[in-house]
């Protein structure tokens, strides 16, 4: 099991460029989510998905798009990068909550994004 895999690990973008952060999990988890981590602000939820074809916004969705065409993959797209999107991005996955005793969220290693 590889767990949750994020690519790339580091990325520098120019303002206005677009890119996709990749996230894949091999644990057959239904629930996947994207967080951004900024100093002093903890982890804030960007978007999440409870299964293939179903996504919804989190706390800070503006400037980001997601899709979930398969159970395994949950890419995060930056439409037009801005310096305010400089952050560390984490993808996480877990089973759905109806499997009560197994709801641990597993995180990827993160993508450090700098927008100049």
Partner 1 sequence: GENVEQHPSTLSVQEGDSAVIKCTYSDSASNYFPWYKQELGKGPQLIIDIRSNVGEKKDQRIAVTLNKTAKHFSLHITETQPEDSAVYFCAGRRGIISNFGNEKLTFGTGTRLTIIP
Applying CB under 8 A, the residues found at the interface with partner 1 are: 4, 31, 33, 35, 40-45, 48, 50, 54, 56, 58-59, 90, 92, 94, 96-98, 100, 103-110
Distance CA 1, CA 40 (A): 33
Nearer to partner 1, 47 or 85 (CB): 47
Nearer to partner 1, 15 or 99 (CB): 99
Distance CA 112, CA 18 (A): 15
Nearer to partner 1, 24 or 92 (CB): 92
In this structure, which long-range contacts are made by residues 96-105, counting pairs with CB atoms below 8 Å and at least 24 apart in sequence? Answer: 96/30, 96/31, 96/50, 96/51, 105/33
Q: What is the smallest separation between the CB atom of 82 and partner 1, expressed in angstroms?
A: 23
């Amino acid at each position: 099991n590889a767990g949750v895999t994020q690519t790339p690990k580091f990325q520098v973008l120019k303002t206005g460029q677009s890119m996709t952060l990749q996230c894949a999990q091999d644990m057959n988890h239904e629930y996947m989510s994207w967080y951004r981590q900024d100093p002093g602000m903890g982890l804030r939820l960007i978007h999440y998905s409870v299964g293939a074809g179903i996504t919804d916004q989190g706390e800070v969705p503006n400037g980001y798009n997601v899709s979930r065409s398969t159970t395994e993959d949950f890419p995060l797209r930056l439409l037009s990068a801005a310096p305010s999107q400089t952050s560390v991005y984490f993808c996480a996955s877990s089973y759905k909550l109806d499997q009560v005793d197994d709801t641990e969220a597993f995180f990827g290693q993160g993508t450090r994004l700098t927008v100049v």
